[in-house]
Amino acid sequence: VVIILIVVFIVFASYFMYARQYLWAFLTLFLIFVLIAPETIKRVKLSVGKDGVEATYEKAQEEKIKKDIQENKEPITRERIKFFRDIENKIIKDAHRKLGGELKREIHYVYGDKPEKPEFMFTPDGTIKVDNKLIFIEIKHIIHPELARNIINNGIKQLQLILDRFKPMAGADLEAKLIIASSVDLDIRGINAPDNINIEFLVTKRK
């Protein structure tokens, strides 16, 4: 039965690609991924709304926070996770208050021709939709100033990759906002971001 469903989904995906219905082609390929690797996406929930299909990835925030802690070369502890989470939640709420629109968290984006092995997966810290504009919010918390340049440049590269890949199939104008949070002075000379990525620096309390 699974094989038959996969064949059917492949046929539909091919049709949607031919008809340039990229959103539905992506959904169909994602359903194949669900059939092939159910354990991998066991925490993914699909919902259909007026804006299309969305995938909500449970516990994605905590997994991203752990990666951010590792990027800062810090040990992963419950206290450190809570510290990062509290800062991130406050920043997201402040950004939402300034920008307005509709805020969503833990939306998981998958890109690639092979649903069982995506080219990359991306869960922004938040997305804010204002009219026909969709803004990816990515937060980088920097503890050690000597790591700032590498962390910021990696954040810019990741956001630019996301914008380049998803813009052709998006139903809205895409932008990105990289928010750098730190309690230490940072040397950011020579760091440049493209026009569609806005960088904002915030001063946080010392741990």
pLDDT along the chain (207 residues), means of 10: 54 61 59 48 42 48 88 94 92 93 77 61 84 90 92 90 77 84 83 86 75
Given the structure tokens 């910021």, which residue do they identify?
Answer: 152
Residue 86: count other Cβ atoms within 10 Å of its Cβ.
11
Domains with residue ranges and CATH for the chain: 1-42 (no CATH), 58-203 (3.40.1350.10)
pLDDT for position 55: 46
pLDDT of residue 44: 44
**What pLDDT is recorded for position 186?**
84
Q: What is the pLDDT of residue 188?
A: 76
**pLDDT given for residue 2 in this prediction:** 44
Give residue 58's identity as a one-letter amino acid code: E
Nearest to 74 by CA among 59, 84, 85: 84
Position 80 scores a pLDDT of 92
Predicted pLDDT of residue 84 = 92
Alpha carbons 90 and 85: distance in angstroms, whole number: 9
- Say how far apart CA 68 and CA 82 lie, in whole Å: 12
* 175 within 8 A of 134, measured Cβ to Cβ: yes
Q: What's residue 76's pLDDT?
A: 94
pLDDT of 52 = 40
Residues in the chain: 207
- Supply 56's token pair: 């909500």
